[in-house]
Each structure stands twice: as structure tokens, then as C-alpha cells.
């Protein structure tokens, strides 16, 4: 097991992020091809943890320092389009400037809030994209340990 200080010394197993290859491609062609910070929502079949769709958050406010999702639009699309189509939120993907491939304190607060609002989610996929290196760092937050971020593996399917 990784001895990274953010990983607790317990037997909790960290799940990988399962993602459709097409989604990975869409992420890198949008978020990966733009300056930080941009982002979007990760979606997949209700009851599964597989990510099968991605919605680039065009209307997010991007200051270059933080990524703030456009809650109103995302909430409306969730109610009107995604839930009726049988998909729900699996997490968020966003980019960071430089080479900072960890979730910030603000990111962690935001994710914890979403986990509290969505008690059916056992994990929250929060990969970080580093546009400067055209790289994606898979990170997951477990609802049982909402204060911890776990680097994990990305499984493309």
C-alpha cells in the first residue's frame, strides 16, 4: 500500500475510477486543451460507478484560480435530461494550473458538501487535469472518509 500521508493506515480499499474511453477523450479535448481552471460533471448509469458520459461546464465561472461549477444549469440538466435518461452524477473533473495535481481545500469542502447532499454516493470521482502536461490524475474521495483524497488508478473501458 502507498505510504502517502493522506492515505490512512486502515484496510479500506480504494476503488479505481472506471471510465469510458470516449469520455476520457472528450475531457482531454475540452478541459485538457484549455487553460486552467475549467471543468465538468462526470455521469454514469444510476446504481453503477462507471463513468459513461461527461458534460463540459461551458458556463462555469473560471477565474484561472478556482473552478466554480454553474450549479443552476447543472441542477436543471440533472432533473430534465440526465435522471430521466437513467444517469446520475459520479463526480467532477476540473483542471489546475501549473503541476498541482491534488484537490485543493476548496475542492474538498465542495466535494464533502455534494457527498452530504447525495447520500447514495459511496465515492466521488474527482480527477484533476493538468493542461500544461496534457495529463489526468485520477483522484477519488470516499463518503466514509470525506476529508481524505485518494490517488487511484484509471481503468478505461
Residue span binding Zn ion (CB under 5 A) among the ranges 56-64, 78-86, 104-112, 119-127: 104-112
Q: Whose Cβ is closer to Zn ion: residue 48's or residue 59's?
A: 59
Cis peptide before 59 (omega within 30 of 0): no
For residue 71, the SS3 value is helix
- Contact between 107 and Zn ion by CB under 5 A: the answer reads yes
Instruction: Tell me how far apart the alpha carbons of residues 21 and 19 are, in angstroms, rounded to a whole number.
Output: 6
Smallest gap from residue 1 Cβ to Zn ion (A): 26
Q: Total residues at the site for Zn ion (CB under 5 A)?
A: 2
Smallest gap from residue 30 Cβ to Zn ion (A): 16
- Contact between 104 and Zn ion by CB under 5 A: the answer reads yes
Q: Whose Cβ is closer to Zn ion: residue 49's or residue 104's?
A: 104
Q: Which residues of 12-49 are buried (b: 16+ CB within 10 A; e: fewer)?
A: eebbebbbbeebbebbeebbbeeebbbbbbbbbeeeeb
Question: Is residue 57 within 8 Å of 97, Cβ to Cβ?
Answer: no
- Contact between 57 and Zn ion by CB under 5 A: the answer reads no
Smallest gap from residue 48 Cβ to Zn ion (A): 26
- Containing 106, the helix (H) or strand (E) segment is helix 105-117
Smallest gap from residue 11 Cβ to Zn ion (A): 29
Q: Whose Cβ is closer to Zn ion: residue 88's or residue 107's?
A: 107
Q: Whose Cβ is closer to Zn ion: residue 52's or residue 104's?
A: 104
Instruction: Tell me how far apart the alpha carbons of residues 97 and 47 are, in angstroms, rounded to a whole number.
Output: 33
Binding site for Zn ion (CB under 5 A): 104, 107
Amino acid at each position: 500500500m502507498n505510504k502517502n500521508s493522506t492515505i490512512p493506515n486502515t484496510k479500506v480499499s480504494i476503488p479505481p475510477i472506471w471510465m469510458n474511453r470516449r469520455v476520457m477523450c472528450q475531457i482531454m479535448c475540452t478541459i485538457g486543451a484549455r487553460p486552467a481552471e475549467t471543468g465538468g460533471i462526470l455521469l454514469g448509469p444510476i446504481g453503477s460507478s462507471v463513468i459513461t458520459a461527461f458534460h463540459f461546464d461551458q458556463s462555469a465561472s473560471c477565474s484561472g484560480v478556482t473552478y466554480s461549477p454553474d450549479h443552476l444549469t447543472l441542477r436543471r440538466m440533472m432533473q430534465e435530461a440526465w435522471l430521466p435518461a437513467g444517469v446520475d452524477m459520479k463526480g467532477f473533473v476540473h483542471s489546475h494550473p501549473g503541476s498541482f495535481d491534488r484537490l485543493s481545500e476548496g475542492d474538498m469542502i465542495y466535494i464533502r458538501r455534494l457527498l452530504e447532499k447525495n447520500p447514495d454516493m459511496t465515492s466521488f470521482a474527482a480527477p484533476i487535469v493538468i493542461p500544461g502536461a496534457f495529463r489526468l490524475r485520477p483522484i477519488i474521495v470516499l463518503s466514509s472518509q470525506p476529508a481524505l483524497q485518494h490517488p487511484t488508478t484509471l481503468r478505461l473501458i
